[in-house]
């Protein structure tokens, strides 16, 4: 399948579109760092870049760091783009700019795979994962790079085995410009939550890389300058528990070998709390945070959305169990569910107080194509296509009430007092359970020390001196600084600043109530 006939060498320009500021991408923290400009390296496009036929040249631009210029387009024979739904305006803008240079443009990735009809202007659509469609695209471009007369849709039927994936082309990007590194171990999830498109897009039987591949990728990321943390972007890290258990000892060994140079994070279902054997290995491998889609504390709502697996242990107990292994829980919460009552916001705020989870992404329900929710709401005539709304769902509750509940939750949950109190809780009950890391040369390298000092001085200046919540910050930071826990002041200071600023925008109506909404995002996008 991989033997691409390529009579001509080609120059491929890979362009990853800019994100609009969002809750989960930490833009407001970047000015406090040592030059971070983007959230995560784009895994999918890096994988495609690494899969190009031998001899083809590639230039890779993440427009969150540097926009593609006329010179880049003039250099290229064809342009590859990838992106998610929230990047749709920027995705289309790259297509427009490439066409100004009469270049053929191909689009792949999660957004086009779910909704090819959203991208009529592209020359090639690559629907699905790396596989036969990818190699057909290479073959066609190898023969002819001219724009085809009409759009060509290539759909992957035979996926390339993940165990056979090449190492993503991390060397093409400045990894030190990213807030966090990313890696993929598995794809797919065995569950079928009503609102989620993962099972339809990537299957219910998780496919896997080998532990050796993961280790080779981590080695390569370190060589390419990554520092800080690496996020496993798998939809569910324990989608295949046996495989996770096989991988973890390799991660533990890798950390020991590399002096615990980085910390890990991942996404997993909350029933991970029932797996002490996995959690204790995660502790050993220094997993510091796990994102759990808790969605709602209401058991009836969880049942209605087919997320009963969240109830395998009482939710608060599950959170405490993870904290007991030194793992801070990050949670997703959804508002606008059919089961929500008028006082749903109060229930969420109460849950936040009880769980003491510092970081929760609160979003309005959105019906994504290729989900059971989308199909049901379509049948019920409850899908609304209105760019002025933050959700395409016709809620049972009045729309304005749902949005104002969201604003209220954001405003109340992220006051500096509340947020730092939740971090104080983590300092007491979670962080002491983490592995005590050795102060080896990898962690205390000159580069890391310089990086830490730059961030600390930025935080002290922008938050400790200039911000209006400096008193709350110092109440948290001063005891830590006195004991030399600088790392904590930096990590909490960065994240808290982003959350506080974003939540203020949100509660005053300057941010969208849904990750997927384009209401405030349909602004002109930067070309140059
Ligand atoms: S557990 Fe997570 S990834 Fe799996 S179907 Fe549910 S929401 Fe999607």
> Mean per-residue pLDDT for 92-99?
98
pLDDT value, residue 517: 53
Residue whose CA is closest, atom 8 of ligand 1? 196
Q: Does residue 299 share a domain with residue 205?
A: yes
Assign 27 a pLDDT band (cuts: 50, 70, 90). very high
The pair of structure tokens assigned to 196 is 């989620």
Q: Does residue 122 share a domain with residue 20?
A: yes
> Mean per-residue pLDDT for 37-49?
96
> Mean per-residue pLDDT for 186-207?
92
Assign 526 a pLDDT band (cuts: 50, 70, 90). very low
Assign 511 a pLDDT band (cuts: 50, 70, 90). low
The pair of structure tokens assigned to 221 is 């990321």
Strands 360-364 and 328-335: parallel
Report the distance separating Cα 290 and Cα 491, nearest Å.
Answer: 16
The 10s digit of each residue's pLDDT in 103-128 is: 999 999 999 999 999 999 999 999 99
Residue 528 has pLDDT above 50, yes or no: no
Q: Does residue 223 share a domain with residue 131?
A: no
Report the distance separating Cα 422 and Cα 412, nearest Å.
Answer: 13
- Is any ligand 1 atom within 6 A of the Cβ of residue 355? no
Ligand 1 centre to CA of 292 (Å) is 10
Residue 136 has pLDDT above 80, yes or no: yes
Hey, which of 203, 240, 269, 333 would you mutate to test ligand 1's pocket, going by the most ligand atoms within 8 Å of its Cβ?
269
C-alpha pair distances (Å), 86 with each of 21, 112, 385, 501, 522: 10, 12, 15, 21, 10
> Mean per-residue pLDDT for 333-341?
97
Residue 1 has pLDDT above 50, yes or no: no
* Range of weakest confidence among 12-26, 259-273, 419-433: 12-26
Report the distance separating Cα 401 and Cα 269, nearest Å.
Answer: 30
Q: Does residue 131 share a domain with residue 184?
A: no
Is residue 57 one of the residues assigned to a domain? Answer: yes
Q: Which residue, chain included where needed, has tokens 């945070």? A: 289
Provide DSSP, 286-333: TEEEEEEEEE-S-HHHHHHTT-GGGGSS-HHHHHHHHHHTTPEEEEEE
Angle between helices 399-413 and 486-507 (to 10 degrees): 150
pLDDT value, residue 28: 95
> What mean pLDDT, rounded, does the chain reach?
93
The 10s digit of each residue's pLDDT in 357-400 is: 999 999 999 999 999 999 999 999 999 999 899 999 999 999 99
Is residue 166 one of the residues assigned to a domain? Answer: no
- Is any ligand 1 atom within 6 A of the Cβ of residue 288? no
Q: How far is CA 106 from the centre of its chain?
A: 23
* Residue that finishes a domain, picked among 367, 394, 422: 367
User: How many domains does the structure of the chain reveal?
Assistant: 2
pLDDT value, residue 527: 26
pLDDT value, residue 512: 67
- Is any ligand 1 atom within 6 A of the Cβ of residue 235? yes
Phi, psi of 215 (to 5 degrees): -65, -40
If one counts every other C-beta atom within 10 angstroms of the C-beta of residue 361, the result is 15
> Mean per-residue pLDDT for 190-211?
93
* Residue that finishes a domain, picked among 315, 337, 367: 367
Ligand 1 centre to CA of 432 (Å) is 30
Count of all residues that appear for the chain in the document: 528
- Is any ligand 1 atom within 6 A of the Cβ of residue 267? no
Identify the CA nearest to 307 among candidates 276, 337, 277, 265: 337
Q: Does residue 108 share a domain with residue 191?
A: no
Q: CB–CB of 21/502 below 8 Å?
A: yes
pLDDT value, residue 472: 98
pLDDT value, residue 519: 46
If one counts every other C-beta atom within 10 angstroms of the C-beta of residue 266, the result is 22
Residue 297 has pLDDT above 50, yes or no: yes
Ligand 1 centre to CA of 235 (Å) is 7
pLDDT value, residue 445: 84
Residue 514 has pLDDT above 70, yes or no: no
Is residue 283 one of the residues assigned to a domain? Answer: yes
Please state, for a pLDDT cut of 70, what percent of the chain lies above it: 95
Which CATH number do you get for residue 128?
A: 3.40.50
Ligand 1 centre to CA of 140 (Å) is 36
Q: Does residue 323 share a domain with residue 202?
A: yes
Residue whose CA is closest, atom 6 of ligand 1? 193
Is residue 1 one of the residues assigned to a domain? Answer: no
Assign 7 a pLDDT band (cuts: 50, 70, 90). low
Residue 523 has pLDDT above 80, yes or no: no
Please give the number of the atom of ligand 1 that sits closest to the Cα of 190: 4
Identify the CA nearest to 90 among candidates 77, 98, 230: 98
pLDDT value, residue 244: 97
Ligand 1 centre to CA of 373 (Å) is 13
> Mean per-residue pLDDT for 54-69?
97
* Residue that finishes a domain, picked among 305, 332, 367: 367
Q: Does residue 245 share a domain with residue 309?
A: yes
Q: Does residue 188 share a domain with residue 143?
A: no
Q: Does residue 187 share a domain with residue 120?
A: no
Residue 79 has pLDDT above 60, yes or no: yes
Assign 516 a pLDDT band (cuts: 50, 70, 90). low
Is residue 48 one of the residues assigned to a domain? Answer: yes
Which CATH number do you get for residue 253?
A: 3.20.20.70
Residue 24 has pLDDT above 90, yes or no: no
> Mean per-residue pLDDT for 58-74?
98
- Is any ligand 1 atom within 6 A of the Cβ of residue 156? no
> Mean per-residue pLDDT for 46-66?
97
| Domain extent for 84 | 11-35+42-155
Q: Does residue 228 share a domain with residue 313?
A: yes
Is residue 502 one of the residues assigned to a domain? Answer: no
Residue 4 has pLDDT above 70, yes or no: no
- Is any ligand 1 atom within 6 A of the Cβ of residue 269? yes
> Mean per-residue pLDDT for 196-213?
93
Q: Is 443 exposed, middle or buried (0-12, 13-18, 19+ CB in 10 A)?
A: middle
pLDDT value, residue 2: 42
In this predicted model, which residue has the larger pLDDT, 150 or 506? 150
Taking the alpha carbons of 388, 393, 394, 399 in that order, is the dihedral positive or negative?
negative
pLDDT value, residue 444: 78
Is residue 392 one of the residues assigned to a domain? Answer: no
Start-end of H helices in 102-210: 110-114, 132-143, 198-202
Identify the CA nearest to 264 among candidates 224, 294, 238, 233: 233
pLDDT value, residue 486: 94
Q: Does residue 340 share a domain with residue 200?
A: yes
Residue 5 has pLDDT above 70, yes or no: no
Q: Does residue 187 share a domain with residue 145?
A: no
- Is any ligand 1 atom within 6 A of the Cβ of residue 196? yes
Residue 438 has pLDDT above 90, yes or no: no
Please name every residue paired with 82 in a beta bridge, in sequence order, or none if there are none: 108
Residue 76 has pLDDT above 80, yes or no: yes
Q: Which residue, chain included where needed, has tokens 């919460």? A: 333
Report the distance separating Cα 146 and Cα 99, nearest Å.
Answer: 11
> Mean per-residue pLDDT for 285-290?
98
Is residue 169 one of the residues assigned to a domain? Answer: no
């Amino acid at each position: 399948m991989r033997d691409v006939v390529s009579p001509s060498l080609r120059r491929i320009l890979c362009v990853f579109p800019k994100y609009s500021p969002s809750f989960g991408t930490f833009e407001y923290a970047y000015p406090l760092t040592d030059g971070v400009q983007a959230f995560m390296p784009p895994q999918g496009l890096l994988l495609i870049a690494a899969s190009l036929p031998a001899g083809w040249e590639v230039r890779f631009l993440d427009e969150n760091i540097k926009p593609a210029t006329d010179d880049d387009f003039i250099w290229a024979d064809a342009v590859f783009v990838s992106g998610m739904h929230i990047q749709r305006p920027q995705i289309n803008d790259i297509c427009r700019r490439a066409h100004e240079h009469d270049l053929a443009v191909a689009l792949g990735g999660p957004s086009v795979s779910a909704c090819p009809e959203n991208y009529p202007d592209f020359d090639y659509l690559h629907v699905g994962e790396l596989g036969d469609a990818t190699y057909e695209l290479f073959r066609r471009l190898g023969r002819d790079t001219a724009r085809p007369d009409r759009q060509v849709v290539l759909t992957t039927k035979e996926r390339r085995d993940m165990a056979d994936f090449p190492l993503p082309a991390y060397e093409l990007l400045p990894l030190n410009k990213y807030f966090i590194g990313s890696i993929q171990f598995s794809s797919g999830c065995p569950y079928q939550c009503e609102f989620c498109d993962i099972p339809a897009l990537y299957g219910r039987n998780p496919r896997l890389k080998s532990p050796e591949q993961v280790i080779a990728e981590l080695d390569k990321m370190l060589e390419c300058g990554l520092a800080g943390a690496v996020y496993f972007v798998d939809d569910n890290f324990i989608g295949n528990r046996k495989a996770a258990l096989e991988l973890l000892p390799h991660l533990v060994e890798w950390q020991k070998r590399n002096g615990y140079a980085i910390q890990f994070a991942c996404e997993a279902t909350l029933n991970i709390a029932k797996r002490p054997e996995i959690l204790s290995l995660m502790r050993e491998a220094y997993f510091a945070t796990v994102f759990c889609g808790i969605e709602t504390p209401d058991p009836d709502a969880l049942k209605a959305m087919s997320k009963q697996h969240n109830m395998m242990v009482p939710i608060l107990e599950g959170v405490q169990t993870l904290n007991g292994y030194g793992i801070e829980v990050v949670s997703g919460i959804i508002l606008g569910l059919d089961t929500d009552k008028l006082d749903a916001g109060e229930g969420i705020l109460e849950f936040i107080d009880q769980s003491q989870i510092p970081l929760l992404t609160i979003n309005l329900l959105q019906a994504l194509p290729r989900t059971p929710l989308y199909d049901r709401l379509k049948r019920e005539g409850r899908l609304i296509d209105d760019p002025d709304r933050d959700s395409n769902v016709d809620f049972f509750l009045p729309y304005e009430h749902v949005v104002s509940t969201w604003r209220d939750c954001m405003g109340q949950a992220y006051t500096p007092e509340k947020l730092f109190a939740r971090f104080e809780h983590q300092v007491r009950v979670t962080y002491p359970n983490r592995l005590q890391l050795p102060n080896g040369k990898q962690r205390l390298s000159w580069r890391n020390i310089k990086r830490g000092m730059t961030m600390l001085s930025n935080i002290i200046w922008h938050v400790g001196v200039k911000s209006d919540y400096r008193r709350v910050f110092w109440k948290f930071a001063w005891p830590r600084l006195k004991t030399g826990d600088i790392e904590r002041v930096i990590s909490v200071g960065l994240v808290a600043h982003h959350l506080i600023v974003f939540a203020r925008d949100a509660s005053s109506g300057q941010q969208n109530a849904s990750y997927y909404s384009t209401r405030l995002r349909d602004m002109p996008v930067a070309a140059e």
